[in-house]
Each structure stands twice: as C-alpha cells, then as structure tokens.
C-alpha cells in the first residue's frame, strides 16, 4: 500500500485482492478486519470513507490481510465472534459459533418457558467457547448453569466468556461419560453441539475449518454418530422426568439421530434450519406404557 491510503481505498484494494485469491466473502472479510484494526463498527467505516490510515494502522491491516490470505478465519484473527447478540472470545482451541447453533439456543429458551417459575438446572455438553451456556444464562438469570468439555484450553476460553458476561457457570473438565456421575442430576435442560462430522467428509470442508478449527470438536470417531451413541446413556440418567434434551446434528443426520434417541425411550422432534435442513433434535422421555390388565368375566 502506498501513502495516503483512505479507508475507502484500502477496502477497495483488499476486496479485489481477496477476490483474485479466491478468499470467501471478500468484502465482509475486508470490512471486519479493517474495523478490527480501527476498533470501530463496520458501518463506521462508511461514515469516514476519506479518513487516511496511519502507518501503524496500515501495518496492522496488512498483517491481517496476510493471515486471511492463508484462509485463517476472521474470528480467530480478531479473537472475537458474535453469537446470539453477544460478543465472545474465540481462539483456535474452540469452534467458531455458527448460526445453526443460535437456533438451538432459541429452541432451548422456548423449552425453558414450559417450566414456568420452576428453578432450572441446565447442562451443556461439549461446551467449547461456552457460547450456548452463556447465551442461555443471559436469558435465564435464575438458572443453575453447568458445562462439560474434555479440553482444558476450551474451558479456559469458556470461563473467560462466562466472566465477560457476569455469569456463574460450573465447569467440569473431562470426557462426558467419565464425569457424568459427578454431575448434580436432575437437569431440566441438556444441550449439546457434539462432534458430528465423519473423517470421510473432511475433504469436503473449507480450509478455514480443516486447517484451523479444533479437530476433536469437529470429527467423530469411529463414525459420525459416536458422540450421540456414547452420551445417550448418561443423558437419560441425568435428565429430569419432565426435562428436554436439545442437540445439533449435521444437515443429513437428524433422522438417524432421532432413531438413536428412540432406542433409549425418547420421543423426538426435528427443527429445520433456514435452508430447510433438519438441524436440531429435541428429545423428551417417552411416557411409560402401562400394561393392560386381564379382566375376569
């Protein structure tokens, strides 16, 4: 970049550069990165188009552009992600929150309303950045919040996000199957966005995902249903008799995930995302079947 680069000129150059190098969402990436450098909102860029960038700002923006060119996600470059109206810290130790996970939060809040004024205990399994439990906690201030993850680095991020939003969350580190007996059952809501991508699907993913996001939070072994299958016995033991489980699934998995829940005596409902894919499975305990009594005539 030469001298006297205005915001407008810097954005135009960056968008063209990203387009030339096949960087996804070139304008959005350029705007977010420059807004991050300047510490302003994206809309503010357009309100000061003719402002000249300082040498320090240009240098910082140049480094961001280089990182994005290597396909590093914008959220990791900035260390921030927006989720359900909240600003959250993210690092390569955690998944970047997705819009479909916001749908899970929306449906969980609807389920919470079924309990009226009853105190709620909520469990988030595989919490990652803590995006789900933090969003729920902000909207359900009286709830008792618990979250589990096997990654110490992820829990460090989740704790910071809970502190940022002034929430008390009880965090537990370890594999869910191992730490489940230490959890204070029953829970009225259990939520989870588990790893659900098979290793065979890795080649179909963008470099931003494969090269930068944590594999243990993405890929399930030995198959894409492993997490659901392994966690269901504990889910059933921990769930309140009137409680609800909400899990996220891949766009083509909801039917088979429902079948797994059915095998554990749950009734299920599938919620479709805005592209008409089944993405959220809602499960409740199936009512007990009362055997018919023989009547002596």
- Beta strand ranges found along the chain (DSSP E): 80-83, 86-89, 121-125, 144-149, 169-173, 187-192, 239-248, 266-272, 278-285
The CA–CA distances, whole Å, from 103 to 202, 227, 279 equal 24, 20, 9
**Residue 1 has what pLDDT?**
46
CA–CA separation, 175 vs 178, rounded Å? 5
Of 199 and 227, more confident: 227
Cα 123 → chain centroid: 15
Instruction: Judge contact between 176 and 238, C-beta under 8 A.
Output: no
pTM: 0.92
Residue 237, preceding peptide bond in cis (omega within 30° of 0)? no
Q: Is the pLDDT of residue 122 over 90?
A: yes
- Quickly state the pLDDT bin for 118 (edges 50, 70, 90): confident
Output the six-digit token pair for 282. Answer: 């809602």
**Residue 297 has what pLDDT?**
41
CA–CA separation, 52 vs 86, rounded Å? 31
**Residue 4 has what pLDDT?**
83
Q: Is the pLDDT of residue 293 over 90?
A: no
Cross-strand bridge partners of residue 282 = 246, 269
SS3 110: helix
CA–CA separation, 122 vs 119, rounded Å? 10
Report the candidate in 27, 26, 35, 39 with the shortest Cα–Cα distance to residue 7.
35
Output the six-digit token pair for 134. Answer: 């933090």
How far is the first Cα of the chain from the last one, in angstroms, to the nearest whole number?
96
CA–CA separation, 69 vs 67, rounded Å? 5
Pairing of strands 169-173, 86-89: unpaired
Q: Is the pLDDT of residue 296 over 50?
A: no
Q: Is the pLDDT of residue 19 over 60?
A: yes
């Amino acid at each position: 970049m030469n001298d006297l680069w205005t915001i407008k000129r810097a954005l135009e150059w960056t968008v063209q550069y990203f387009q030339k190098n096949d960087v996804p969402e070139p304008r959005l990436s350029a705007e977010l990165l420059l807004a991050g450098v300047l510490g302003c909102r994206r809309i503010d860029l357009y309100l000061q188009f003719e402002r000249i960038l300082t040498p320090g700002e240009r240098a910082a923006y140049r480094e961001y552009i280089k990182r994005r060119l290597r396909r590093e996600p914008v959220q990791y470059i900035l260390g921030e992600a927006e989720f359900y109206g909240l600003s959250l810290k993210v690092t390569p130790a955690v998944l970047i929150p997705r819009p479909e996970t916001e749908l899970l939060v929306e449906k969980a809040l609807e389920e919470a309303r079924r309990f009226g004024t009853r105190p709620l205990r909520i469990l988030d399994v595989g919490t990652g950045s803590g995006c789900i439990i933090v969003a729920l906690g902000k909207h359900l201030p009286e709830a008792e919040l618990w979250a589990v993850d096997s990654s110490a680095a992820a829990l460090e991020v989740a704790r910071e996000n809970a502190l940022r939003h002034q929430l008390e969350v009880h965090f537990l580190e370890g594999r869910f199957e191992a730490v489940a007996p230490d959890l204070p059952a029953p829970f009225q809501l259990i939520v989870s966005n588990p790893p659900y991508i098979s290793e065979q699907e890795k080649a179909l993913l963008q470099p931003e995902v494969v090269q930068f996001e944590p594999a243990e939070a993405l890929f399930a072994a030995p198959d894409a249903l492993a997490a659901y299958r392994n966690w269901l016995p504990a889910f059933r033991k921990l769930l309140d008799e009137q409680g609800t489980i909400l899990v996220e699934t891949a766009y083509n998995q909801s039917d088979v995930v429902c079948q797994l829940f059915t095998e554990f005596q749950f009734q299920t409902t599938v919620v479709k995302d805005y592209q008409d894919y089944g993405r959220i499975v809602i499960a409740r305990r199936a009512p007990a079947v009362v055997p018919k009594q023989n009547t002596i005539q």
